[in-house]
Chains A and B, each alone.
Chain A
Amino acid sequence: MSGSRPIDLPAGVTIPEGAGGSSSWKTVRTVLQHAYIWIWLVIFVIPFLATLVYSFESPKGGYSLEAYDFVKGAFLENLVYSLELTLMAIIGNLLISIPAAYAIVRHNVPGKRLILSTLNVSLYAPAAVMGLSLLITYAYLLDFMPLTHSTWGLLAAYVVGTFPLMLLPIIVALRDMPMVYQEAAHTLGASRAQSLFRIELPLLGPGIGAGILMTFVIVFNEFLVTLFIAGPENQTAALRVYGLTRTAGFSQSTAAAAATMQLVSFVVVLVFFKLVGSRYLKGTYFA
């Protein structure tokens, strides 16, 4: 701001006191507003912090990282399995939701409304009902494919349970995306696929990103439906933590496993917003 001079107001001009009161009151108000937000944030993270602190407590007194030996050892396998399942569920959801969103938004599918409201059933069905229904279904299907107690069975359960979370934000994003970008791409010589991958999917990024994030958060932490379907071979991280609380009790290693799960979710969400969030949420027409 070099070169700026104070502006002289004509004589007789007065500056009224702001309606918000004096500046000191403004400062107080700002501090209170910030404090309010922070208090809530702290309340939200207290359970997590408690678990974290507990996991560092050594049975011999003092603090140590001993409990995390278990996380690096046996529990790592469960974590990796959960992450693999989550990744596959995300891919499955994408493969279903992107074509489905196009069909629903861009074509006149008969019974569109009915389809859309039925889709949400899996979102508000209680997990226990869901788990039971899937078990029954898998029992019927047993002769064709053994889904119970298998990775594929779990995956199918997750996809059925969460793909509306992927589909809905993509539908919203697709509705908001003007046809003109696609048409411009075609006039410039882009094929259907080129337009899809270069223009449409990047522009649908925020919707797809929201779907990926929600799928991740739900599937990675899913417990109840998993309990119904998983066999001894399918120990997800959430299932293992639950199992530990029953066998090992509230030991430090249980807390360490739980805290690690939380941390993974937290880091993934954070990294997502850092990378994908900024890239997609900025440069698009949503900005």
Chain B
Amino acid sequence: MSRVQLISVAKRYGDTVAVRDFTADIADGEFVTLLGPSGCGKTTTLRMVAGLVDPSSGYILFDDQVMNRVPTNKRNIGLAFQSHALFPHMSVAKNIAFGLTMKRRPKAEIRNKVEEMLDLIEMTGYGDRMPAQLSGGQQQRVALARMLATDPRVLLFDEPLSALDRNLRDTLKYSILELQRRTKKTAIYVTHDQSEAFAISDRIFVMNQGRVEQAGSQLDIYLRPATEFVANFVGDNNAISGVIESIASLPDGQRTARVKAGTFELQGYAPDTLDVGDEVLAFVRPENIEVVGQNTQQQADGLVSGMVEQIVFEGPTVRLNVDCDGVLLNVSASGVERLTLLDKGEKRVTLRFRDVSLVKQ
């Protein structure tokens, strides 16, 4: 139940800059994700919000109050660690009760809260177990219960699911989202797993080398990457370099540009920063390249043809490597028609691009 602001927050360790000039305004009840590769400063940012790391400069605000000098135990936050960090010498119930015990709440209240939390994580009756006697998923759920029991104003998550196997990750990430939605608490979630970020966030901050590369909704990040890094990091994008030939404004305010890339042309969204003559990278996702014909020579506007070099059957999709006059494209075909691509023999395919995004080179 708090608005969280970061104002030009930075953290330096000697010569290393872990986080630089991080500014964000996170609304009350919003679920934001910090997404980025290893070492980009996600954990450091989160720990500064938690008060476990002192910022080198900048301000951290909860509800318009500067938190910089407020110690962790007075910030009323909940932090989920990568390793669940349950106290190994305390039972599940004692772990969940810990925060309330520290606040010297009455015994009866604590007991009720522990029961309520155990019900919430669907582990009623597990109170007397020791953490070592639980499975990894149960441990992480108890850690969530422990963190929610104190009714914190901000929920912080540092890759809480990365130690778990895939199925468990999938179920638990929705449990986390549901808990957050139900409690309407502001949440900051750190992950390097984009599918996790896309599944649960209201807003994603993509970070690289201590810097925020782009902040926006899932669709913004996925379809309109602002930088080359974001385009490459999110999904395995095809990158085609070319030059803008012309730009047209659409009725909805968006701009589209025609880009000449080698022997073919394509159209893509152009942010305001681009002009005619700019050298750009055009990014197209494998699933946004459609196979419109096989072994035909269609020459129409917006169509490109190429030779299939490799076909991999992946079940729901068929992955193709297509050579279009020297440009290698990664194509992911789905739908029943994909099965016709599996026929043996040399193949020439005609492709159509959708949702091409342009980034200045």
Q: A: which residues have CB within 8 A of B? A: 178, 180-181, 183-191, 194, 198-199, 202-203, 205, 283-285, 287
> Among the listed B74, B87, B99, which residue makes an inter-chain contact with A181, where contact means beta carbons less than 8 Å apart?
B87
Is there an interface contact between A184 and B87, defined as CB atoms closer than 8 Å? Answer: yes
How far is A183 from B80 in the complex, measured between Cα atoms in Å? 11
- 9 nearest A-B residue pairs (beta carbon): A188-B99, A186-B72, A187-B79, A184-B85, A180-B85, A285-B88, A189-B102, A190-B102, A283-B89
Known contacts: A199-B87, A283-B130, A285-B88. The answer to whether A189 contacts B103 by CB under 8 A is: yes
Is there an interface contact between B89 and A284, defined as CB atoms closer than 8 Å? Answer: yes
How far is A128 from B69 in the complex, measured between Cα atoms in Å? 54
Which chain A positions have C-beta within 8 A of B156? 187
Is there an interface contact between B98 and A187, defined as CB atoms closer than 8 Å? Answer: no
Known contacts: A183-B52, A190-B98. The answer to whether A287 contacts B132 by CB under 8 A is: yes
The residue on A at minimum CB distance from B91 is A283
Interface status of B150 (Cβ within 8 A of chain A) = yes
Which chain A positions have C-beta within 8 A of B85? 178, 180-181, 183-184
Q: Shortest beta-carbon distance, B143 to chain A, in Å?
A: 8
Q: Shortest beta-carbon distance, B144 to chain A, in Å?
A: 13
Q: B: which residues have CB within 8 A of A? A: 50-52, 71-74, 76-79, 81, 83, 85, 87-89, 98-99, 102-103, 130, 132, 146-147, 150, 156
Is there an interface contact between A188 and B102, defined as CB atoms closer than 8 Å? Answer: yes
Q: A186-B51, A188-B78 are in contact. List 11 more A-B contacts (CB 8 A).
A: A180-B81, A180-B85, A181-B87, A184-B79, A185-B102, A187-B77, A188-B73, A190-B102, A194-B102, A198-B102, A199-B87
Q: Shortest beta-carbon distance, A174 to chain B, in Å?
A: 15
Is there an interface contact between A202 and B99, defined as CB atoms closer than 8 Å? Answer: no
Q: Shortest beta-carbon distance, A178 to chain B, in Å?
A: 8
Q: Shortest beta-carbon distance, A234 to chain B, in Å?
A: 40
How far is A187 from B76 in the complex, measured between Cα atoms in Å? 7
Known contacts: A180-B83, A183-B52. The answer to whether A188 contacts B89 by CB under 8 A is: no
Which chain B positions have C-beta within 8 A of A188? 73, 78, 98-99, 102, 146-147, 150
> Among the listed A187, A198, A283, which residue makes an inter-chain contact with B88, where contact means beta carbons less than 8 Å apart?
A283
Known contacts: A188-B102, A189-B73. The answer to whether A284 contacts B150 by CB under 8 A is: no
How far is A219 from B89 in the complex, measured between Cα atoms in Å? 30
Known contacts: A188-B102, A190-B98. The answer to whether A202 contacts B89 by CB under 8 A is: yes
Which chain B positions have C-beta within 8 A of A190? 73, 98, 102
Is there an interface contact between B88 and A186, defined as CB atoms closer than 8 Å? Answer: no
Which chain B positions have C-beta within 8 A of A202? 89
Q: Shortest beta-carbon distance, B175 to chain A, in Å?
A: 20
Which chain A positions have C-beta within 8 A of B98? 185, 188, 190, 198
Which chain A positions have C-beta within 8 A of B51? 186
Q: Shortest beta-carbon distance, B54 to chain A, in Å?
A: 14
Which chain A positions have C-beta within 8 A of B87? 181, 184-185, 199, 203
Q: Shortest beta-carbon distance, A185 to chain B, in Å?
A: 7
Which chain B positions have C-beta within 8 A of A187? 50, 52, 72-73, 77-79, 147, 156
How far is A186 from B78 in the complex, measured between Cα atoms in Å? 10
Which chain A positions have C-beta within 8 A of B78? 187-188
> Among the listed A178, A185, A189, which residue makes an inter-chain contact with B76, where contact means beta carbons less than 8 Å apart?
A189
The residue on B at minimum CB distance from A180 is B85
The residue on A at minimum CB distance from B156 is A187
The residue on B at minimum CB distance from A183 is B52
Q: What would be 8 A-B contacts, judged by CB atoms less than 8 Å apart?
A: A183-B85, A184-B81, A187-B72, A188-B73, A188-B98, A198-B102, A203-B87, A203-B89
Which chain B positions have C-beta within 8 A of A181? 85, 87
The residue on A at minimum CB distance from B79 is A187
Which chain A positions have C-beta within 8 A of B146? 188
How far is A185 from B87 in the complex, measured between Cα atoms in Å? 9
Is there an interface contact between B88 and A189, defined as CB atoms closer than 8 Å? Answer: no
Which chain A positions have C-beta within 8 A of B150? 188-189
Q: Shortest beta-carbon distance, A278 to chain B, in Å?
A: 13
Q: Shortest beta-carbon distance, A173 to chain B, in Å?
A: 13
Known contacts: A185-B98, A186-B52. The answer to whether A191 contacts B73 by CB under 8 A is: yes
- Of B89, B130, B147, chain A has the most CB atoms within 10 Å of the CB of B89
The residue on B at minimum CB distance from A179 is B52
The residue on A at minimum CB distance from B71 is A186
Is there an interface contact between A284 and B88, defined as CB atoms closer than 8 Å? Answer: yes
The residue on A at minimum CB distance from B78 is A187
Known contacts: A183-B52, A188-B150, A190-B102. The answer to whether A203 contacts B79 by CB under 8 A is: no
